């Protein structure tokens, strides 16, 4: 009977044996449920922990690395930034509005738990093609869920990216990132410290929503996943707003000894993690937990994932002050137990002990797996395909317009205009820039954020693709003039128990780790989301990197659009890209193949440093990363953003494929524009950095003109390019 129960809860027979061994007895149903959620992949990282140790996590300005609710980076002047990214893929696949909304709510709580005032949100989204009705429903629901929550709590959604490909059809990715600012010396910790201190539960009442949400998130989606809808929580952003204000006030007034949000695995997770981190224990009384209904069982209370709740550890003499704050904000605050020094988590209900186990059993003692990894057969096969034998398009103009019409490249304004990206009046660059930039009030500083992860590259070559995700994110921050400081991430993969998926995972992490080392951007935390599969089909391996960058002077931030007629346009980096895994290859030739060129990490580091220097010296009129769609698309994007035409002349080598020149993709390639009077100084600095540089043409007029080898390839009115690019997504949805 019990054997069956643990399987139903997602625990293996081996894991059940291990539980009995740890406990020295059979666990009761509640204890088993607690193990089940805490040993789920979502909470325990049991299949990923070993691999994640490859990430560099230390650096001069890293105040707090992985292991807490969010990583923290020192930005000088006594301030620090807490930031973290998390996935909410499975809930969003079932109930897109609430799935996305509660994802936003959860990541915000992770930030203010640290004592940081949340100041920015970003979202990294992946969907199937928009011609599918269900995808449209998911897409519209996710976007309005993100807006619905973020707008209401008053935290600007300043950036992110959205990308479409068929293998995300049944399993969209919703990765949400939040950043907050705090005094560097006042980090709040998720620790149950101080024996005898009171444990207080604040915020929303506990209900039956989200039972076993983390277990649901740790298995593949199937035809019957719809039945799991009750595992999706419902968010209340108004409650969250009140909770932010009340908790931050309590932390600012130094009233809390420890604090943690209740997210996945609810009270079980918060009590066991806080105890375990501090090496302490807790006694809690479930009959003191305010519930929405009277008849909740201890099991339901311990596993509920009701949103907008926080757990605090408070010294005796500060309880009154805490109560006053929460009363003022109209919030519940209930003393539900106290901290002990015996390492035990003891759960009582109406005086009866209903569970007792060491807190560390649920956390540190969770199993750790090193799973078999195997290179999938497609890897060599796709790599060896000869792309140069493909026919060249007769009509480059048509290929170009086709690329601009790809939803991956087209304007995402339909999304952004549903997000309040200006609230808090700090947004210097909102959505649509290479990086989003906010000022840090009270200083001259600015923070830049970017989220990136091209699943197609990672599929073709997980190692290089993992590197490239970090490189692109760092470059996006650098072109904005900010120094890349650190990353958070969301690692979205299929079922890790399949060796080919696990191979993708390991390779990608190794690549990311190598890039993080080379670029000086340690990993401060993140999240792993496995089991992104629908009916046996996995998504592209999609590690998403959330990069934090720092501008010493926010007024030196650089934008991507041309800003002045007569400015000269240069490409810093290699002129020629590669067709391997490019948007062009997919959109025009319907192919996914090729060998990704090995990225040069050392050059990438030099490029980033050079860009930051150029921005600081105010030499750049604009700067824009060349990414999806290649050179021509990047030029068009800079023209659209600056509302200025351009005339470009490219020289051709003998064996140049024009399509590869115009649409090829590659790393460390950036478009810059410069005033003619500052050209020399710019070139000197670029050459000093040992970077290749190519003059492309001049900004001006209302036409978009491209000539290669003396032959005019394109001459389009900018208005037409802009209209093409703007109307794609609205048209898909109408």
Catalytic (active-site) positions: 42, 88
- Return the residues of window 388-417 that contact another protein according to CB under 8 A: 416-417
E-assigned strand segments in 57-109: 62-64, 71-76, 79-87
For another protein, the closer of residues 167 and 429 by Cβ is 429
Residue 429, classed as helix, strand or coil, is strand
Strand 309-314 vs strand 258-261: parallel, antiparallel, or unpaired? antiparallel
455 binds another protein per the rule CB under 8 A: no
Residue 524 · residue 82 · CB < 8 Å: no
Which residues are CB-neighbours of 647 under 8 A, at least 6 positions away?
A: 697, 698, 700, 701, 703, 705, 707
For another protein, the closer of residues 147 and 337 by Cβ is 147
Q: Which of 238, 352, 388, 602 binds another protein (CB under 8 A)?
A: 238
Q: Return d(Cα 667, Cα 172) in angstroms, integer.
A: 27
Q: How far is CA 666 from CA 390, 474, 480, 583, 589, in A?
A: 19, 14, 19, 12, 18
423 binds another protein per the rule CB under 8 A: yes
Choices 186-194, 233-241, 525-533, 649-657; region in contact with another protein by CB under 8 A? 233-241
For another protein, the closer of residues 117 and 208 by Cβ is 117
Q: How far is CA 502 from CA 51, 371, 604, in A?
A: 10, 7, 28
For another protein, the closer of residues 330 and 351 by Cβ is 330
439 binds another protein per the rule CB under 8 A: yes
Q: Return d(Cα 419, Cα 416) in angstroms, integer.
A: 5
Q: Return d(Cα 645, Cα 41) in angstroms, integer.
A: 51
Q: Which of 69, 98, 124, 144 binds another protein (CB under 8 A)?
A: 144
Read off the DSSP letter of residue 317: G
261 binds another protein per the rule CB under 8 A: no
**Shortest Cβ distance from residue 428 to another protein (Å)?**
6
Query: CA 19: distance to chain centroid?
Result: 33
User: Given the structure tokens 């792993």, which residue do they identify?
Assistant: 528
Window 665-684: contact mask with another protein (x via CB under 8 A) = --------------------
- Count residues binding another protein (CB under 8 A): 32
Read off the DSSP letter of residue 169: S
Choices 419-427, 531-539, 600-608, 634-642; region in contact with another protein by CB under 8 A? 419-427
Q: Which of 120, 152, 182, 729 binds another protein (CB under 8 A)?
A: 152
Q: Return d(Cα 201, Cα 334) in angstroms, integer.
A: 5
Q: Which of 40, 102, 151, 500 binds another protein (CB under 8 A)?
A: 151
Which residues are CB-neighbours of 609 under 8 A, at least 6 positions away?
A: 478, 689
Window 327-366: contact mask with another protein (x via CB under 8 A) = --xx------------------------------------
**Shortest Cβ distance from residue 77 to another protein (Å)?**
17
For another protein, the closer of residues 241 and 564 by Cβ is 241
- In the chain, what's the furthest Cα-to-Cα distance? 88
Choices 152-160, 476-484, 574-582, 715-723; region in contact with another protein by CB under 8 A? 152-160
CA atoms within 13 A on the CB side of 602: 1
153 binds another protein per the rule CB under 8 A: yes
147 binds another protein per the rule CB under 8 A: yes
The neighbour count for residue 402, using CB atoms within 10 Å, is 16
Q: Which of 92, 162, 307, 427 binds another protein (CB under 8 A)?
A: 427
Q: Report residue 305: phi and psi, to 5°.
A: -110, 30
For the four alpha carbons of 312, 316, 322 and 323, in that order, the dihedral sign comes to positive
Q: Report residue 236: phi and psi, to 5°.
A: -135, 90
For another protein, the closer of residues 146 and 612 by Cβ is 146
For another protein, the closer of residues 36 and 151 by Cβ is 151
Residue 521, classed as helix, strand or coil, is coil
420 binds another protein per the rule CB under 8 A: yes
Q: Which of 380, 555, 688, 712 binds another protein (CB under 8 A)?
A: 555
For another protein, the closer of residues 117 and 212 by Cβ is 117
For another protein, the closer of residues 420 and 625 by Cβ is 420
120 binds another protein per the rule CB under 8 A: no
Q: Return d(Cα 188, Cα 251) in angstroms, integer.
A: 7
Strand-pair partners of 715 = 705
Window 239-258: contact mask with another protein (x via CB under 8 A) = x-xx----------------
Q: Return d(Cα 630, Cα 317) in angstroms, integer.
A: 62
Window 288-327: contact mask with another protein (x via CB under 8 A) = ----------------------------------------
| Footprint of another protein (CB under 8 A) | 144, 147-148, 151-154, 236-239, 241-242, 329-330, 416-428, 439, 441, 554-555
């Amino acid at each position: 009977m019990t054997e069956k129960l643990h399987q139903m809860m997602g625990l293996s027979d081996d894991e059940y044996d291990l539980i009995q061994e740890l406990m020295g007895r059979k666990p009761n149903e509640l204890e088993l449920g607690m193990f089940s959620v805490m040993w789920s992949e979502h909470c325990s990282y049991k299949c990923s922990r070993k691999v994640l140790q490859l990430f560099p996590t230390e650096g001069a300005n890293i105040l707090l690395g992985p292991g807490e609710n969010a990583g923290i980076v020192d930005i000088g002047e006594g301030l620090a930034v807490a930031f973290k990214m998390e996935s909410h893929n499975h809930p969003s696949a079932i109930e897109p509005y609430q799935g996305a909304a509660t994802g936003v709510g959860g990541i915000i709580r992770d930030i203010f738990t640290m004592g940081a005032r949340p100041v920015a949100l970003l979202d990294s989204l992946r969907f199937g093609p928009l011609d599918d009705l269900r995808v449209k429903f998911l897409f519209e629901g996710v976007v309005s869920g993100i807006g619905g929550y973020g707008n209401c709590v008053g935290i600007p959604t300043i950036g992110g990216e959205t990308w479409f490909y068929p293998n995300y059809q049944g399993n969209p990715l919703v990765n949400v990132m939040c950043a907050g600012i705090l005094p560097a010396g006042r980090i709040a910790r998720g620790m149950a410290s101080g024996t005898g201190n009171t444990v207080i539960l604040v915020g929303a009442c506990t209900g039956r929503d989200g039972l076993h949400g983390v277990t649901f998130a740790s298995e593949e989606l199937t035809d019957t996943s719809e039945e799991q809808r009750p595992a999706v929580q419902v968010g209340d952003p108004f409650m969250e707003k009140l909770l932010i204000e009340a908790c931050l006030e309590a932390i600012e007034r130094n009233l809390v000894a420890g604090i943690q949000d209740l997210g996945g695995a609810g009270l079980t997770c918060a009590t066991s993690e806080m105890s375990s981190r501090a090496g302490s224990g807790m006694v809690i009384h479930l009959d003191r937990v305010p519930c929405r209904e009277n008849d909740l069982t201890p099991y339901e209370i311990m596993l509920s994932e009701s949103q907008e709740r926080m757990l605090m550890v408070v010294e005796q003499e500060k309880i009154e002050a805490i109560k006053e704050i929460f009363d003022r904000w109209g919030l519940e605050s209930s003393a539900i137990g106290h901290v002990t020094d015996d390492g035990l988590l003891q759960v009582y209900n109406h005086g009866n002990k209903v569970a007792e186990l060491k807190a560390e059993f649920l956390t540190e003692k969770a199993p750790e797996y090193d799973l078999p990894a195997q290179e999938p057969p497609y890897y060599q096969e796709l790599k060896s395909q000869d792309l140069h034998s493909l026919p060249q398009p007769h009509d480059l103009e048509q290929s170009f317009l086709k690329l601009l019409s790809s939803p991956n490249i087209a304007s995402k304004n339909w999304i952004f205009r549903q997000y309040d990206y200006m609230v808090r009046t700090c947004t210097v660059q909102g959505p649509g820039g290479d990086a989003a930039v906010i000022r840090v009030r009270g200083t001259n500083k600015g923070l830049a954020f970017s989220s990136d992860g091209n699943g197609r590259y990672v599929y073709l070559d997980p190692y290089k693709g993992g590197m490239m995700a970090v490189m692109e994110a760092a470059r996006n921050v650098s072109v904005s003039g900010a120094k890349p400081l650190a990353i958070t991430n969301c690692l979205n993969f299929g079922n890790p128990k399949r060796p080919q998926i696990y191979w993708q995972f390991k390779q990608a992490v190794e690549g990311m780790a190598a890039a993080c080392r080379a670029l000086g951007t340690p990993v401060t935390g993140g999240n792993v989301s496995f089991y992104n599969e629908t009916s046996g089909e996995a998504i592209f391996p999609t590690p998403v990197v959330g990069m934090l960058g720092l501008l010493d002077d926010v007024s030196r931030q650089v934008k991507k659009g041309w800003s002045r007629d007569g400015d000269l346009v240069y490409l810093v980096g290699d002129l020629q890209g590669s067709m391997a895994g490019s948007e062009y290859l997919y959109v025009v030739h319907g192919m996914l193949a090729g060998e990704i060129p090995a990225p040069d990490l050392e050059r990438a580091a030099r490029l980033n440093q050079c860009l930051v220097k150029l921005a600081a010296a105010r030499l750049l009129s604009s700067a824009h990363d060349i990414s999806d769609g290649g050179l021509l698309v990047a030029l068009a994007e800079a023209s659209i953003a600056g509302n200025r035409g351009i005339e470009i002349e490219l020289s051709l080598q003998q064996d140049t494929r024009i399509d590869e020149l115009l649409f090829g993709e590659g790393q460390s390639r950036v478009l810059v524009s410069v005033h003619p009077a500052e050209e020399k100084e710019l070139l000197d600095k670029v050459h000093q950095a040992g970077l290749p540089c190519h003059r492309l043409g001049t900004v001006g007029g209302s036409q978009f003109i491209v000539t290669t080898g003396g032959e005019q390839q394109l001459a389009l009115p900018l208005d037409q390019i802009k209209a093409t690019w703007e109307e794609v997504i609205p048209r898909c949805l109408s």
